[in-house]
Amino acid sequence: MMSGAGGGVVSASREVGQGVAELKAKIYERINKHFKEYAASFDIGGDVSTELDALRHQLDAVKSAIEEDDLDAVAQQTQEAARLRAQTQLTDATVDVMQTLAEIDKSLLRHDTHLEAGNLAQAASVLAEVKVNLDDKRLLQKEYCDAKILLILRRDYEEKQAHLRSRVEELWRRAVVWQRRDIGSQHVATMQVTTTLEVSETQADMDIAEVVAALEALGLLDTHLARLASQLMEAFLLPLCKTHTLTPSVTEGARSRTLMLDDRLPGIKARKLRSKIRAAQEALAVFQSLETVLAFALDNVLAADPNLSARLGRSLAGPLLEAVTKHLLAKAVPLHTDNDDLHSKVKGSVQRLEAFLRDAHVVQGKDAAVLSTYVDNVGLHNHNRKRQEVLARARALMLADNFNTIQVEHATERGGLFPATEQVFEGDDAALRESIFSLPTCHITETTKKVMDLVYITLDECAKADQSTRVQLFYTVRDVLDLFRTVVPTFHAQALDAAHGRGWGVMPPGVFDTCTGTLVSVIANRVVSDTLALSDISEDECKHLEHFVSLLLEQLRGQWGRDVAQDELTQLAPSWQRLAQLREVLSERLMTIKERFEAGGWVFTAPELRGLIKAIFADSDKRQQALRTIH
């Protein structure tokens, strides 16, 4: 046993330990009784916080004694000293945990008090504090806290949070009520906001701001703001941008305000009356209607709070700006670039809408001037729209299943092929000029003719347009021609592949065989002629050329769609045998070629065979001997 100062510290430490055990039992009893739905005022000996403070003071005295070396008298008993310090640290942590448990218990009771008084935001804030305390990792350590007690507190917290959440969301649904119906082409939508809610006979009326604050405290506000933005777009803002005859109206009651969107003209009649100018004039009223809808939602639901408006804007700004641009400005502005007065009015309305959105904090940063930028660059947007229309029409023509041909000649070429000039050309110059620029009579597909008609129409518009438009239209014509070079060959090749399988059903068998044979002969003759024109073929080139000819023979043989005998191939395609023997020449030895010539086994003439030998084989005595033989 210890004596002196050391003994006093030990005694004090034991006394603190005993106090901890007694107080822990009291706290656990209190929590258990609350969980078993005892009255909140159940008395188990007063507020434990006072006892905890006293225990904390007593523990601090013990720790101070240890720090002041009161154990020096028993320093030799190091094992007992170490145990005492460890026990003190454990007791210190245990007291901290007990204070946390007591605070959680008191907070849960405080939550009930706020909830009964209708202070939903404060009740939610208290639960947020409880959640922080419950997440204390020390509560999970069994030496500090009993697992059953922690389970009791966590279960109580979860039940209270679920109840509060359900109540707040039910009040939100009562506060903001949506109705929408579409009767034929007529769109009707209403949004009723109850600013003062009746809760119960025993509770005072609740302001909608209390519900919003409770959603914020529960961490649910951003989700509900995103939903509010979506509903505003679907029921009000997007229909306004699409149907210019809709108009909003606001009515006020004792506890609520209602926003209604209705068509001031029957839909069918409105469409008949709407001309291009009328669409722009109607658009001017739409900008003010958009402000009316947004102001109603911001003022009545969010109390015009800048922070809440900005958070709503995170979900609303993008879809709203896109709808205004796509469904309103794109239809109203580009069609009237030549009407300065109307264009100025639209621009002024856009600037007022942007100022409203900025002041309301709905749109911020780089999005603040998106609409004005669009209006300022309306000419560019108009050019892009025209370009897309021309390219889409050209592509549709190119992909049309029309392979009929039409005759064209120099006289039918609109505008002529000669550049306008007063210079007189005579003699050889005139003949040269005529031969260079004269279009020979030929046949082209009807598709090509229609594409060229579209090119001429676009060039005519180009000549009449202003400078910037002229450049854009010129580039559009260039893109049409690039598109033609890319699309038409591929499309025709695919069409020919598809038509090949239908050849027997389209043409009589004999005609189909003859046509296919002629096509194969043309291809075979071209390959043979180009090869005979080569003066030098390296060993690698010779191998590649042989491989190419082998593949080509295989592909050409399949063009008839059936097995064709060798004799029939030679009859249908006279150049077939020359292409087949070209492959053999490319792979044979020099002496074999010479011996086969002597036997009369080649279809090539002596000069053709001599040229191939000179191109394929290097100069040598054997080559000279073979060339002397082949003459």
C-alpha–C-alpha distance, residues 168 and 206, integer Å: 11
Following CA atoms 214, 217, 223, 227 in sequence, which dihedral angle do they give, to the nearest 10 degrees?
Answer: 20
Domain boundary among the residues 140, 170, 200 is at: 170
Residue 138 lies in a domain: yes
**27 and 43 inside one domain:** yes
C-alpha–C-alpha distance, residues 21 and 9, integer Å: 18
**493 and 526 inside one domain:** no
**326 and 301 inside one domain:** yes
C-alpha–C-alpha distance, residues 577 and 566, integer Å: 9
Looking at residue 329, the DSSP 8-state letter turns out to be I
**371 and 388 inside one domain:** no
Neighbours of 331 (CB within 10 A): 18
Domain boundary among the residues 474, 500, 526 is at: 500
Quick one: pLDDT at residue 31?
45
Contact present, 418 and 430 (Cβ < 8 Å): no
What does the H/E/C string look like for 259-280? EEEEECCCHHHHHHHCCHHHHH
Quick one: pLDDT at residue 469?
76
Residue 45 lies in a domain: yes
Domain boundary among the residues 475, 500, 525 is at: 500
Residue 266 lies in a domain: yes
Contact present, 226 and 157 (Cβ < 8 Å): no
**514 and 622 inside one domain:** yes
**276 and 358 inside one domain:** yes
Kindly give the interhelix angle for 306-323 and 221-232, rounded to the nearest 10 degrees.
40
**358 and 297 inside one domain:** yes
Residue 34 lies in a domain: yes
Report residue 79 CA to chain centroid gap: 68
Structure tokens belonging to residue 315: 């979900």
Residue 455 lies in a domain: yes
CATH number at residue 596: 1.10.357.150
What does the H/E/C string look like for 510-558? HHHHHHHHHHHHHHHHHHHHHHHCCCCCCHHHHHHHHHHHHHHHHHHHH
Query: Residue 544's domain spans which residues?
Result: 509-629
C-alpha–C-alpha distance, residues 621 and 604, integer Å: 23
Quick one: pLDDT at residue 53?
58
**260 and 303 inside one domain:** yes
Helix then strand then coil, % of the chain, to nearest 5: 70, 5, 20
Quick one: pLDDT at residue 416?
46
**488 and 518 inside one domain:** no
Structure tokens belonging to residue 392: 């889409």
What does the H/E/C string look like for 606-617? HHHHHHHHHHHC
C-alpha–C-alpha distance, residues 413 and 417, integer Å: 7
Residue ranges, the chain, pLDDT below 50: 1-6, 9-10, 16, 24, 27-28, 31-46, 52, 66, 69-77, 79-81, 267-274, 336, 415-420, 504-505
Quick one: pLDDT at residue 267?
47
C-alpha–C-alpha distance, residues 9 and 80, integer Å: 12
How many domains does one find in the chain?
Answer: 4
**40 and 150 inside one domain:** yes
C-alpha–C-alpha distance, residues 92 and 98, integer Å: 10
Strand partners, 182: 187
Note the pTM of the prediction, 2 decimals: 0.56
Residue 310 lies in a domain: yes
Alpha-carbon dihedral sign for residues 58, 62, 63, 65: positive
Residue 585 lies in a domain: yes
Quick one: pLDDT at residue 18?
56
**345 and 449 inside one domain:** no
Residue 212 lies in a domain: no
C-alpha–C-alpha distance, residues 177 and 195, integer Å: 12
**250 and 352 inside one domain:** yes
